[in-house]
């Protein structure tokens, strides 16, 4: 057993209002630079929709992630042989037009235009070439366009839905959507790390954050291909790849990543998970139907004395173990089983989990009116507006059973709370659903509290940053031992 | 004077500048070492330019290297006329492929505004020197036939003499102009490596072949740093 700690996250999709505040916070801090304008380390997509970059989930196009070749786990579009062979031209690299050409507006013209008959306007100019352009796509171009021909119909997750099911989703009365905020998953089995020929991308041992060493990156571009979530971006100006760094400078000083801190819907949770690194390869190469369960098994119970001992032996600090015990992610993912990884079939073992959305799924129309009586809630799961199959394609590699269980749990919590606050339901309508998912009242209340009324400190449990040691994550203080003030120009090393 | 300058002075200057300059740049300006790929801005035309150009140059480079390191074997191979012909045609083929690749790459660069934006002044030098090198090479291959054979008798001893620090330029001084240009531009190319994007072939990621796929860096080892029995050693994290 090789226990490591991993900073992981939960996004509660029922709470996401699609305001893009997270994306803006991230942009302002990290990617508001030349060459990085098109990068959205954090973005929010409307589902059904094509996402960003366009159709990123379609690995027949982009060849991202891992695949099983016989019994061997191998990268789909990169790797030692394919990567080095395709170094001079990577056929699977998305280009800027798959994202969008970044632009700004010529605001100065509003002030400097010569007097004339027409109102001066600020025309859009390309941030690459500086020429006038007509923006034809953008980072959230398909925002709220569920049901549209151009975007929703091209959603890759419809692939194994029947034509009838697909058609139903485009009827005006049945149309539905939910938001999907995305960022780097800081995977346990990262494809970007494996694909990087120069070894510039690495996973930090201490907290599992995946980073790109900008000095070692040589623009071989394989990480962009390999990441199935397309969360590694190529900076065309500097000739280096960049990606979400989970605001590690903020984490190290005990602050929350900017996207999570600014989240208006308070959908984001962050905490530590302890996992067994020896099992990674095994889990990543198991059959597709077992992927979710096996991945959830890799995370260990931080209250188990055996786990605690093994963690301590591995040099994990007490403060980290304590944080793991309080982790909201552990509760959502392991204790309550409410959160699932996005596209587990890519086999990267992502550490960002989603509580699937219940609301768009449940409401449905009968005889021209929305059916909202509590009686029909259970039947509605099968008859829901958003086919379970669709959610299963997103969160459980196509396994509908897994999604159904989660939705039933979420529903049970709602029924229980309605009983507590309104009390208008017959007893068995509350107890039966709770019994079916074997949930007691205390658990339901706990889920409710962490979902609806969590404090800041409940949502974010960062392991004590060890501020005094944070410096050592960047530089060894031993190197400057014996120095004082600004240090010597020459290191205090024994002479010849 | 002319010969001394270009065939003794230039090679040593170029090799020194390349060695010192590349190491200095690698150590002090690591961020600026990159292949500066433009595929992200334009990918289709790059395919037709970059692939033939790079593969062509790669095989030509190793061809020259083999002829320098194993002149006897090359001569032996060439002793049968058919084999000589095959070798020469293959080499010429790679030369032509590199030439067309370069041509397409230059056209591509000039055609797209996006690519002009990311080009720098040294890229012009790179294009010119590559053009001179490839064209003079093709010229030699066509007009001064069977280079793979005469290389062994003239160029191998010359290059060897350079590396042995006993430069002997008798043979190269008597060479036709095309060969002289090829040698001079070749050494110039080596000399400008640290100042151009040529730097990227010095950082070809060979280590990828034998490293494990996953790469985890521990910034510091908590187990040993808290252990009083382990003696204090200077530990430099590898991620910076």
Q: How many residues belong to chain A? A: 496
CA-closest candidate to residue B187, choices B57, B11, B62: B11
The mean of the pLDDT values for chain A is 88
Q: A488: helix, coil or strand?
A: coil
C-beta separation of A35 from A28 below 8 A = no
**Would A365 be classed as within a structural domain?**
yes
The mean pLDDT of B60-76, rounded to a whole number, is 89
Which H or E element spans position B97?
A: helix B81-111
The pLDDT > 70 percentage for chain B reads 91
Q: Quick one: CA dihedral B58, B64, B69, B71, positive or negative?
A: positive
HSE-up of residue B92 (Cα within 13 Å, Cβ side): 16
Give the C-alpha separation, A272 to A299, whole Å: 10
The answer to whether residue A378 scores a pLDDT higher than 70 is no
Residue A424 CB neighbours (<10 A) = 9
**Residue B181: phi, psi to the nearest 5?**
-60, -40
- Is-contact A8 A351, C-beta < 8 A? yes
Query: Which tokens in the block code for residue A6?
Result: 């991993």
Q: From the CA of A172, how many Å to the nearest CA of chain B?
A: 39
The pairs formed by B210-213 with CB atoms below 8 angstroms and a separation of 24 or more are B211/A199, B213/A75, B213/A79, B213/A193, B213/A194
* Residue with more model confidence, A143 or A171: A143
Q: Under an 8 A CB cutoff, do A89 and B205 touch?
A: no
Rg, chain B, Cα only = 22
- DSSP-derived 3-state class of residue A113: coil
CA quadruple A192, A195, A201, A205: dihedral, nearest 10: 80
Q: Between chains, do A220 and B36 touch, taking CB under 8 Å as contact?
A: no
CB-nearest to A221 from B31, B39, B240 is B39
Find the CB nearest A95 among B35, B41, B213: B41
Top residue of A2, A67, A88 to mutate, by most chain B CBs within 10 Å, is: A88
What is the pLDDT at residue B223? 59
Q: Is residue A144 part of a domain?
A: yes
Report the pLDDT value the prediction gives residue A314, as an integer from 0 to 100.
84
Cβ distance of A205 and B216 shorter than 8 Å: yes
**A105 belongs to a structural domain:** no
Q: Residue B240 has what pLDDT?
A: 44
Largest Cα separation within chain B, whole Å, is: 74
Contact B40 A234 (CB under 8 A): yes
Distance, in Å, from the CA atom of A80 to the CA atom of A86, rounded to the nearest integer, reads 10
CA of B55 vs chain A CAs: smallest distance (Å): 8
**By mean pLDDT, which of A201-205, A478-482, B10-14 is the weakest?**
A478-482
Query: What average pLDDT does this structure show over A350-354?
Result: 96
Asked whether residue A369 is domain-assigned, the answer is: yes
Report the CATH number at residue A271: 3.30.70.20
Predicted pLDDT at A171: 77
Q: Which of B208, B224, B236 to mutate to test the interface with A (most CBs of A within 10 A)?
A: B208
Q: How far apart are CA A376 and CA A383, in angstroms?
A: 10
Tell whether the model's pLDDT for residue A379 goes beyond 60: no
pLDDT at residue A376 tops 60: no
Inside any domain, residue A110:
no
3-state helix, strand, coil in chain A (%, to 5): 40, 15, 45
| Strands A72-75 and A66-69, bridge-based pairing | antiparallel
- What residues of chain B lie within 8 A of the CB of A474, using their CB? 219, 237, 240
- Chain B residue closest to A82 (CA)? B209
Per-residue pLDDT tens for A224-262?
999 999 999 999 999 999 999 999 989 988 899 999 999
In order of A184, A240, A263, B59, B71, the CA distances from A243 in angstroms are: 7, 10, 20, 35, 49
Please report whether residue A367 resides in a domain: yes
> What is the distance between the alpha carbons of residues A92 and A82, in angstroms, rounded to a whole number?
11
Mean pLDDT of B72-84: 86
- Chain A nearest-CA residue for B212: A194
**Among B138, B143, B148, residue whose Cα is nearest residue B84:** B148
Number of H helices, E strands in chain A: 23, 16
Taking the CA of residue A286 and the nearest CA in chain B, the distance in Å comes to 18
Integer Cα distance of A110 and A121 in angstroms: 6
DSSP percent split of chain B into helix, strand, coil, nearest 5 = 75, 0, 25
For position A482, what pLDDT does the model report? 66
Query: What ipTM was reported for this prediction?
Result: 0.88
- B chain contacts of residue A224, beta-carbon cutoff 8 Å: 40
pLDDT band at A366 (very low <50, low <70, confident <90, very high): low
Q: Is the pLDDT of residue A345 over 80?
A: yes
| Between A424 and A420, the higher pLDDT residue | A420
Task: Identify the pLDDT of residue A423.
Answer: 85
- State the count of interchain CB pairs (< 8 A) between A and B: 152
The reply to whether omega before A48 is within 30° of 0 (cis) is: yes
* Main-chain phi, psi angles of A5, to 5 degrees: -105, 150
Model confidence band, residue A184 (pLDDT cutoffs 50, 70, 90): very high
What does the DSSP assignment read for B27-94? HH-GGG-S----TTT--HHHHHHHHHHHHHHHHHHHHHHHHHH-HHHHHHHHTSHHHHHHHHHHHHHH
Residue B62: pLDDT over 90: yes
- A chain contacts of residue B114, beta-carbon cutoff 8 Å: 96, 128-129
Other beta carbons within 10 Å of A200: 24
Say whether pLDDT at A465 is over 90: no
- Identify the residue with better confidence: B185 or A432: B185
| The pLDDT value given to residue B71 | 87
Among the partner residues A199, A224, A238, nearest to B208 by beta-carbon distance: A199
Distance CA(A403)–CA(A395), nearest Å, equals 8
Nearest CB to A197 within list B53, B208, B240: B208
Q: How many separate domains does chain A show?
A: 1
Predicted pLDDT at B119: 92
Q: Which of B26, B213, B218, B222 to mutate to test the interface with A (most CBs of A within 10 A)?
A: B213
Find the mean pLDDT for residues A286-295: 92
Closest chain B residue to A195, measured at CA:
B213
Instruction: Please report, rounded to a whole number, the percentage of residues in chain A having pLDDT higher than 70.
Output: 89
Considering the domain boundaries, does residue A435 fall inside one? yes
Q: Do residue A476 and residue B235 have CB atoms under 8 angstroms apart?
A: yes
Cα–Cα distance, A169 to A149 (Å, whole number): 12
What is the percent of chain A where pLDDT is above 90?
63
> What is the number of alpha carbons within 13 Å of residue A424 lying toward its C-beta?
4
Among the partner residues A190, A199, A216, nearest to B211 by beta-carbon distance: A199
d(CA A185, CA A261): 17
Question: Could A95 and B42 be called an inter-chain contact, meaning their C-beta atoms sit closer than 8 Å?
Answer: yes
Nearest alpha carbon to residue A268 among A468, A449, A10, A5: A10
Q: Which chain B residues are within 8 Å of A197, Cβ to Cβ? A: 205, 208
Could you tell me if residue A128 is inside a domain? no
Domain that holds residue A442: 1-100+137-467
- pTM given for the model: 0.90
Mean pLDDT for the stretch of residues B32-37: 91
Closest chain A residue to the Cα of B222, Cα to Cα: A315
Q: Is the pLDDT score of A219 beyond 50?
A: yes
Kindly list the residues from chain A whose CB atom is less than 8 angstroms away from the CB atom of residue B104: none
Domains in chain B and their CATH numbers?
2-208 (1.20.950.20)
CA distance B193 to chain A (A): 16
Which pLDDT band holds residue A164 (cuts at 50, 70, 90)? confident
**Taking the mean position of all CA atoms in its chain, how far away is CA A210?**
13
Most confident of A149-158, A446-455, B21-30, B74-83: A446-455
pLDDT band at B220 (very low <50, low <70, confident <90, very high): low
DSSP label of B155: I
| pLDDT score for B49 | 94
Alpha helices in A256-317 (DSSP H): 258-261, 280-284, 291-298, 305-313
State mean pLDDT over A92-113.
Answer: 93
**Structure confidence by residue, pLDDT tens digits, A308-342:** 999 988 888 889 999 999 999 999 999 999 999 99
Contact A283, A294 (CB under 8 A): yes
């Amino acid at each position: 057993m090789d226990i490591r700690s991993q900073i992981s996250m939960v996004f509660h999709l029922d709470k996401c209002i699609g305001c893009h505040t997270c994306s803006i916070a991230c942009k302002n801090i990290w990617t508001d630079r030349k060459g990085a304008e098109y990068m959205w380390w954090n973005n929010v997509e409307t589902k059904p929709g094509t996402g960003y970059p366009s159709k990123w989930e379609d690995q027949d196009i982009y060849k991202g992630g891992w695949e099983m070749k016989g019994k061997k786990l191998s990268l789909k579009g990169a790797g030692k042989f394919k990567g080095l062979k395709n170094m001079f031209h990577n056929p699977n690299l998305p280009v800027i037009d798959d994202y969008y050409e970044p632009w700004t507006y010529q605001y100065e013209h509003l002030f400097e235009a010569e007097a004339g008959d027409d109102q001066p306007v600020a025309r859009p100019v390309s941030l690459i070439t500086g020429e006038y352009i007509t923006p034809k796509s953008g980072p959230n171009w398909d925002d709220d366009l569920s049901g549209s021909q151009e975007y929703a119909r091209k959603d890759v997750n419809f692939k194994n839905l029947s034509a009838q099911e697909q058609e139903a989703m485009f009827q005006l009365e049945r149309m539905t959507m939910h938001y999907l905020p995305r960022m780097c998953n800081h995977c346990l089995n990262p494809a970007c790390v494996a694909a990087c020929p120069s070894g510039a991308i690495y996973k930090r041992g201490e907290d599992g954050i995946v980073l790109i060493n900008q000095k070692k990156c040589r623009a071989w571009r394989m990480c962009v291909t390999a990441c199935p979530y397309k969360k590694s971006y190529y900076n065309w100006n500097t000739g280096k790849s960049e990606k979400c760094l989970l605001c590690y400078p903020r984490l190290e000083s005990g602050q929350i990543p900017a996207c999570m801190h600014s989240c208006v819907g308070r959908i984001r949770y962050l905490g530590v998970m302890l996992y067994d690194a020896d099992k990674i390869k095994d889990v990543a190469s198991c059959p597709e139907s077992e992927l979710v369960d096996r991945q959830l098994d890799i995370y260990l119970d931080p209250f188990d004395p055996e786990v605690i001992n093994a963690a301590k032996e591995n040099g994990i600090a007490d403060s980290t173990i304590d944080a793991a015990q309080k982790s909201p992610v552990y509760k959502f993912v392991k204790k309550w089983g409410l959160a699932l990884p996005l596209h587990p079939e890519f086999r990267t073992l992502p550490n960002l989990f989603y509580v699937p959305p219940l609301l768009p799924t449940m409401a449905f129309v009968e005889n021209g009116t929305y059916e909202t009586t509590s009686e029909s809630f259970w039947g509605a799961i099968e008859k829901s507006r958003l086919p379970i199959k669709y959610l299963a394609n997103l969160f459980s590699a196509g396994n509908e059973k897994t999604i159904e269980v989660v939705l039933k749990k979420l529903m049970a919590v709602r029924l229980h709370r309605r009983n507590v606050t309104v009390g208008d339901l017959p007893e068995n309508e509350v107890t039966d659903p709770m019994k079916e998912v074997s949930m007691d009242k205390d658990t339901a209340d706990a889920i409710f509290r962490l979902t609806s009324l969590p404090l800041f400190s409940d949502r974010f449990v960062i392991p004590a940053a060890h501020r005094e040691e944070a410096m050592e994550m960047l530089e060894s203080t031993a190197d400057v031992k014996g120095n004082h003030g600004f240090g010597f120009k020459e290191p205090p090393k024994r002479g010849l | 004077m002319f010969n001394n300058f270009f065939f003794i002075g230039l090679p040593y200057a170029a090799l020194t500048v390349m060695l010192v300059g590349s190491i200095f740049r690698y150590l002090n300006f690591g961020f600026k070492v990159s292949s500066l790929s433009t595929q992200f801005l334009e990918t289709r035309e790059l395919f037709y330019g970059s692939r033939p150009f790079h593969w062509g140059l790669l095989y030509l480079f190793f061809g020259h290297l083999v002829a320098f390191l194993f002149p006897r074997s090359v001569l032996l191979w060439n002793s049968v006329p058919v084999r000589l012909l095959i070798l020469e045609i293959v080499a010429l083929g790679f030369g032509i492929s590199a030439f067309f690749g370069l041509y397409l790459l230059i056209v591509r660069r000039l055609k797209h505004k996006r690519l002009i934006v990311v080009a720098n002044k040294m890229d012009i030098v790179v294009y010119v020197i590559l053009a001179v090198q490839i064209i003079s090479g093709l010229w030699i291959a066509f007009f001064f036939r069977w280079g793979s054979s005469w290389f062994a008798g003239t160029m191998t001893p010359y290059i060897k003499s350079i590396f042995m620090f006993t430069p002997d330029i008798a043979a190269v001084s008597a060479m036709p102009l095309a060969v002289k240009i090829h040698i001079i531009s070749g050494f110039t190319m080596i000399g400008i490596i640290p100042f151009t994007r040529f730097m990227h072939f010095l950082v070809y990621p060979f280590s990828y072949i034998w490293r494990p796929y996953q790469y985890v860096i521990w910034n510091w080892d908590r187990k040993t740093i808290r252990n009083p029995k382990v003696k204090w050693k200077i530990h430099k994290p590898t991620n910076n």
